[in-house]
């Protein structure tokens, strides 16, 4: 796997406690960012629907200048222009993804549901002596430095955000020269994800599923019932109830993210090659019986973390085709079983080998990944075994709650 010698860009995220004046300024900025995004999206959509005309970033930037001169939208000039220009660039990227068939059509932002954030480039902030000051502000942000920035690093982009629980965050994008390929190792591991055990490794090790959402399920249900009883609108009681629900969700997400970071970092440090299964998680969560457990397991987040960390440290992640019959294939003799119902957790092959379902699947994934590395072989299932049947069926049924 080739690794470039350039510095890796990393985002370092910290919490901070704004003053009342800073909070008011940032809230105004969030509102203006949302307003400009929606105005530009409406203008671009209307131009295409009426005149079949594509409006790009430069045209919307000129529109922004005109909007600021109107009496109705004069308040847009009261906040920094940098986040407003950046949101137009984000809209351009959204349309690029849409026309490239990589994303859906951009949607309008709403005050209650959309993420509150504003992005500043170097002209919109000052970073000196470890203190960050944003445009239109006189005092630096009171950042909680939970970890230091890379030595000599200077942020190229700063993103300020506020989550639904009311917590304030600042994310700094920096070049990190400390991220370098780890010493090569000859070890490889197959990883089978599940619900009873979050991960099962080809070595036989099983990592328990912490089920983060279940730990707070009772408290979350109580808070959601309290929110449902509040009258709809912008009342203070409903806002407080919504905030309590958001705090519980934030605590669950924080624990889940922390656990996944520790697991993926360990796998990347210990193994040169990691073989996983290319699961269609978006389709699997349509199963109403398993959707809650699958979402809590966060398989997509696990894969994403694994892939970018592997790219950082010179490791390789191989995704085996989702139709590969990893559970029904004997890892010893290669015999393919006709059926493997969900309730069967251990089984004995005709060759006499007794398999743990998940460990056997992880070993088959590893073997398939090694075949790809060695000779570029495909990992599509083959027609074989006593029944002579193809195992082209997608194995979503082997995930257990």
Residues recognised as catalytic: 192, 277, 358
DSSP 8-49: EEEEEEEEE---HHHHHHHHHHHHHHHHHHHHHHHHHHHHHH
Answer yes or no: are the C-beta atoms of 162 and 112 closer than 8 Å.
no
Answer yes or no: are the C-beta atoms of 220 and 248 closer than 8 Å.
yes
Q: Are strands 8-16 and 316-320 parallel, antiparallel or unpaired?
A: unpaired
Length of the chain: 401
Answer yes or no: are the C-beta atoms of 196 and 167 closer than 8 Å.
no
Q: What is the CA radius of gyration of the chain?
A: 25
Structure tokens at 386: 């006593």
Q: What is the largest CA-CA distance in the chain?
A: 82
Q: How far is 178 from 286, CA to CA, in rounded Å?
A: 41
Structure tokens at 358: 């998940």
295 alpha-carbon distance from chain centroid: 12
Torsion sign, CA atoms 97, 102, 105, 110: negative
Half-sphere exposure of residue 316: CA atoms within 13 angstroms, side-chain side: 18
Contacts of 24 (CB under 8 A, 6+ apart): none
In this structure, what DSSP letter does residue 106 have? P
Contacts of 306 (CB under 8 A, 6+ apart): 264, 267, 268, 274, 276, 317
Q: How far is 266 from 262, CA to CA, in rounded Å?
A: 6
3-state SS assignment for residue 109: coil
Answer yes or no: are the C-beta atoms of 7 and 177 closer than 8 Å.
yes
């Amino acid at each position: 796997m080739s690794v470039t010698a350039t510095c890796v860009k990393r985002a370092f995220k910290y919490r901070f406690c704004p003053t009342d004046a800073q909070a008011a300024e940032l809230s105004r900025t969030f509102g203006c960012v949302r307003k400009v995004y929606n105005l530009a999206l409406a203008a671009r959509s209307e131009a295409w629907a009426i005149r079949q005309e594509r409006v790009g970033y430069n045209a919307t930037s000129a529109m922004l200048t005109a909007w600021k001169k109107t009496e109705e939208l004069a308040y847009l000039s009261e906040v920094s222009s940098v986040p407003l220009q950046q949101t137009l660039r984000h809209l351009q990227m959204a349309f690029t993804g849409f026309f490239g068939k990589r994303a859906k059509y951009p949607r309008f932002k709403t005050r209650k549901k959309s993420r509150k954030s504003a992005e500043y480039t170097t002209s919109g902030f000052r970073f000196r002596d470890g203190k960050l000051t944003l445009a239109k502000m006189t005092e630096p942000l009171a950042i909680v430095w939970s970890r230091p920035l890379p030595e000599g690093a200077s942020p190229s982009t700063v993103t300020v955000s506020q989550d639904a629980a009311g917590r304030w965050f600042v994310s700094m994008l920096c070049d990190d020269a400390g991220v370098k390929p780890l010493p090569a190792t000859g070890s490889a591991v197959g990883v089978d994800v599940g619900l009873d055990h979050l991960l099962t490794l080809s070595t036989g090790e099983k990592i328990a599923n912490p089920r983060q959402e279940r730990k707070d399920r009772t408290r979350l249900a109580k808070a959601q019932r309290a929110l449902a009883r509040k009258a709809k609108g912008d009342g203070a009681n409903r806002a407080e109830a919504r905030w309590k629900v958001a705090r519980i969700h934030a605590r669950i997400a924080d624990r889940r993210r922390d656990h996944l970071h520790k697991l993926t970092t360990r796998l990347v440090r210990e193994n040169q090659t990691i073989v996983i299964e290319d699961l269609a998680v978006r389709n699997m969560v349509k199963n109403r019986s398993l959707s809650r457990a699958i979402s809590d397991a966060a398989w997509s987040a696990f894969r994403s973390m694994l892939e970018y960390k592997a790219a950082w440290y010179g490791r390789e992640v191989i995704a085996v085709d989702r139709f590969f019959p990893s559970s029904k294939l004997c890892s010893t003799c290669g015999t393919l079983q006709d059926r493997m119902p969900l309730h069967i957790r251990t089984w004995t092959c005709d060759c006499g080998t007794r398999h743990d379902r998940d460990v056997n699947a992880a070993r088959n994934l590893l073997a398939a990944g090694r075949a790809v590395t060695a000779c570029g072989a495909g990992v599509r299932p083959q027609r074989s075994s006593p029944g002579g049947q193809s195992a082209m069926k997608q194995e979503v049924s082997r995930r257990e709650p």
